[in-house]
């Protein structure tokens, strides 16, 4: 299985593929047992997204408001929905699950956007190079900052750092967005770059401290992925 297929598998599970791209991937999925197995592993791995969520306390008036609405009589013009008598096909279940992941998972990662934080320009799911399991999520913003959410506990040895890279232009090569050593949700502010775009590469490598000695990736690639524009 190619690196592009692994990246697409992560995007598929998150529900980020659309239109012709989605149809082409599902056609490929029906013919490729190895690709189907990778998608199954990814779906099983996404329970790690739950570990990044913080419990929120409901407001004092929430339950009373719900009780009040439940006691209200139904409107006369409401038409009850027909009961479903058959289960939807597996592809539909997968699509529904991906939609829930996007609505809850990426909505959480954006972090109370509203008026306090801007929307990310692109989102990239970075997968590892062995079994295509998601290892990190990157949200890239128009102000050259990125929000990184690790989904696995990267092993960092003494005198080593994790370095985040992007490839805004193949002519200039990879550009460092910053380094970190403790895998947790962090903000990084990189150099001034063009506005991030769909298809842009992001990756994390293991480098000698305090960072790559050449200004380009020199260590092993731990996770990588291609950006998609949030819907």
Q: Is pLDDT above 80 for 179?
A: yes
Please state, rounded to an integer, the average pLDDT across all residues of the chain: 77
Q: Is the pLDDT higher at 52 or at 184?
A: 184
Helix (H) or strand (E) holding 24: helix 19-31
**Residue 192 contacts by C-beta under 8 Å, 6 or more apart in sequence?**
144
Looking at 65-69, 70-74, 170-174, 178-182, which range is the least confident one? 70-74
Q: Is pLDDT above 80 for 165?
A: yes
Neighbours of 43 (CB within 10 A): 16
Greatest mean pLDDT among 68-82, 115-129, 178-192:
178-192
Give percent of the chain with pLDDT exceeding 70: 68
Q: Is pLDDT above 90 for 211?
A: yes
Confidence of residue 19 (pLDDT cuts 50, 70, 90): confident
Give percent of the chain with pLDDT exceeding 90: 38
At residue 2, the 3 state secondary structure works out as coil
DSSP 62-126: HHHHHHHHHHSPPPTTPPPPPPP-SPPPHHHHHHHHHHHIIIIIIHHHH-S-TTTSPPPSEEEEE
The whole-number average pLDDT for the span 27-56 is: 69
DSSP 117-176: SPPPSEEEEEEETTT--EEEEEEE-TTSEEEEEE-S-----TTEEEEEEEES-TTT--EE
**Residue 33 contacts by C-beta under 8 Å, 6 or more apart in sequence?**
none
Looking at 74-83, 144-153, 181-190, which range is the least confident one? 74-83
Q: Is pLDDT above 70 for 202?
A: yes
The tens digit of pLDDT for each residue in 91-106 reads: 444 444 444 444 344 4
Q: What is the pTM of this model?
A: 0.54
What confidence score (pLDDT) does residue 209 get? 95
Confidence of residue 31 (pLDDT cuts 50, 70, 90): confident
Strand partners, 145: 189
| 187 φ/ψ angles, rounded to the nearest 5 degrees | -105, 135
The tens digit of pLDDT for each residue in 56-65 reads: 666 666 677 7
């Amino acid at each position: 299985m190619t690196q592009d297929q692994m990246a697409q598998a992560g995007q598929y599970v998150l529900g980020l593929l659309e239109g012709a791209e989605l149809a082409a991937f599902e056609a490929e999925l029906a013919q490729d047992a190895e690709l189907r197995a990778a998608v199954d592993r990814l779906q099983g791995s996404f329970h790690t997204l739950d570990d990044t969520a913080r419990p929120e306390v409901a407001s004092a008036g929430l339950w009373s408001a719900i009780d009040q609405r439940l006691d209200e009589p139904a409107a006369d013009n409401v038409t009850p929905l027909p009961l479903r008598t058959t289960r939807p096909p597996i592809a539909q279940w997968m699509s529904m699950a991906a939609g829930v992941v996007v609505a809850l998972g990426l909505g959480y990662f954006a972090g109370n956007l509203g008026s306090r934080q801007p929307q990310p320009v692109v989102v990239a799911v970075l997968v590892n190079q062995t079994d295509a399991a998601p290892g990190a999520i990157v949200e890239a913003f128009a102000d050259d900052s990125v929000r990184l959410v690790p989904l696995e506990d990267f092993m960092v040895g003494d005198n080593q750092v994790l370095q985040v890279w992007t490839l805004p232009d193949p002519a200039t090569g990879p550009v460092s967005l910053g380094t970190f050593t403790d895998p947790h949700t962090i903000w990084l502010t990189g150099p001034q770059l063009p506005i991030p775009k769909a298809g842009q590469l992001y990756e994390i490598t293991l480098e000698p401290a305090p960072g790559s000695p050449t200004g380009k990736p020199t260590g092993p690639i731990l996770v990588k992925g291609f950006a998609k524009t949030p819907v």
